[in-house]
Amino acid sequence: MINRGYYGEFGGGFIPEILTTTFDELVDAFERVKTDPSFWQEYMHIISTYSCRPTSLTFAENLTRYFGGARIYVKREDLNHTGAHKANNVMGQGLLAKRMGKTRVIAETGAGQHGVATATMAARFGFRCTIYMGEVDVERQRPNVFWMERLGAEVIPVVDGTRILKDAINEAFRDWVSNMDGTHYVLGTACGPHPFPEMVSYFQSVIGKEAREQILERENKLPARVYACVGGGSNALGIFSAFLDDPVELVGVEAAGEGLDTERHASRLASDNGSVGVAQGYKTYFLQDRDGQMKETHSVAAGLDYVGVSPILAWHRERGRIRFEAATDSEVLDAMSLTIRKEGLIPALESAHAFAQAFKEAADLSVGDIILINQSGRGDKDIFTIAEAFADPGWKDFIRKKGNDYGA
Ligand SMILES: Cc1ncc(COP(=O)(O)O)c(C=O)c1O
């Protein structure tokens, strides 16, 4: 079934020859720690004493009443240190890099959450740190850039291509090729060449393990459906992995942006816009033209506009184990508003995609059913985008005054 990083026809490791030794070293190190209980213990220790595991499972009582169907539960990955599930992966890869004797880490980031998590891990573990971020994302996620730099990371804006996540990944690989010996590339999602998809999912599997136990303890039954947003696929695989062998419907929600019938979305699996190809070192569904050139993507959520998707998710789609849907920017903003008002939860724009799809379907399920939504991160980072979307006059005034203070 899984053959050195293949999931059906997807995955693999299409890497430049110069990186072969580095990847072999990484595969060996990862294989060793998977069978070393002391590594998992060390990992659990750091994510529970430094990050905030186990994260809570919250019953969304008011939303449940509002929709009048299934009981809605939210897995609170927003409560991780640095505000998103990204912390689970970086802490694991950081420990691995330490065991491999590395002194420097590099990473790509889109929404900035993975960049902040990596910079935080680097500060804690004493690594030098460089973060690559598309120039467009640098502009829309400026608060995260601020924190990465305060944490001691060098943030390099990427000006090539469409200046978003895929371009940042290209630059990070370029850096790695020139600095293989002392550097580990902390890839932030379950994509890229083997062993990254497996390794990132492995570290994120803690989400599903906890959520499954918590829901059984609270309700004594499994959820009917689990919803997670899908950028590269790491939070979705993290929560879904514990339910794969259960009679539970798993729903991955992509960014429909301004609509699936426009060119401004990032849906690779929920629609027939994606096609199979090899890029960035692995085989999966990409948004590409007939010549294999990557297309421009769009989402209101910076973390969901990647052109590729985890090969593991592509395989689960082919075998019909996971259903894929997509939510538009405006559905997402509505779902976010409702969640804030009804529950006092502030989901990240990425996570709000999962809420939006769950809300479309909640009333169709019966009152005895349970819905589980993964809140992959918190929405504070999105304040600029959200204030703009809601045309908040007080916020505009505040920004104008700040601009005046800085003589802009
Ligand atoms: C809060 C949050 N959720 C979800 C994602 C999407 O990534 P993934 O699909 O790997 O979980 C991101 C990416 O930046 C994110 O910041």
Could you tell me the pTM of the whole model? 0.96
From CA 63, how far away is CA 69, in angstroms rounded?
10
What pLDDT shows up at residue 1?
A: 39
Residue with token string 């948004």: 287
From CA 109, how far away is CA 316, in angstroms rounded?
25
Which tens digits make up the pLDDT trace of 138-194? 987 888 999 999 999 999 999 998 898 999 999 999 999 999 999 999 999 999 999
Nearest atom of ligand 1 to the alpha carbon of 83: 1
> Which amino acid makes up residue 12?
G
Residue with token string 């019953």: 59
- Closest-CA residue, ligand 1 atom 15, reads 303
Which tens digits make up the pLDDT trace of 84-121? 999 999 999 999 999 999 999 999 998 899 999 999 99
What pLDDT shows up at residue 141?
A: 84
What pLDDT shows up at residue 140?
A: 79
Residues within 6 Å of ligand 1 by CB: 84, 110-111, 113-114, 189, 229-236, 303-304, 348, 350-351, 376-377
Packing angle between helix 113-125 and helix 86-99, nearest 10 degrees?
Answer: 40
Angle, alpha carbons 291-196-227 (nearest 5°): 85
Q: What is the pLDDT along the chain (408 residues), one digit of tens a residue?
A: 345 899 999 999 999 999 999 999 999 999 999 999 999 999 999 999 999 999 999 999 999 999 999 999 999 999 999 999 999 999 999 999 999 999 999 999 988 999 999 999 999 999 999 999 999 999 878 889 999 999 999 999 999 988 989 999 999 999 999 999 999 999 999 999 999 999 999 999 999 999 999 999 999 999 999 999 999 999 999 999 999 999 999 999 999 999 999 999 999 999 999 999 999 999 999 999 999 999 999 999 989 999 999 999 999 999 999 999 999 999 999 999 999 999 999 999 999 999 999 999 999 999 999 999 999 999 998 998 899 988 999 998 999 998 898 887
From CA 129, how far away is CA 157, in angstroms rounded?
14
User: From ligand 1's centre to the CA of 404, what distance in Å?
Assistant: 34
Residue with token string 């790695």: 176
- Closest-CA residue, ligand 1 atom 6, reads 231
User: From ligand 1's centre to the CA of 235, what distance in Å?
Assistant: 7
Pocket test for ligand 1, best of 229, 307, 374 (most atoms within 8 A of CB): 229
Nearest atom of ligand 1 to the alpha carbon of 233: 9
What pLDDT shows up at residue 3?
A: 57
Nearest atom of ligand 1 to the alpha carbon of 110: 14
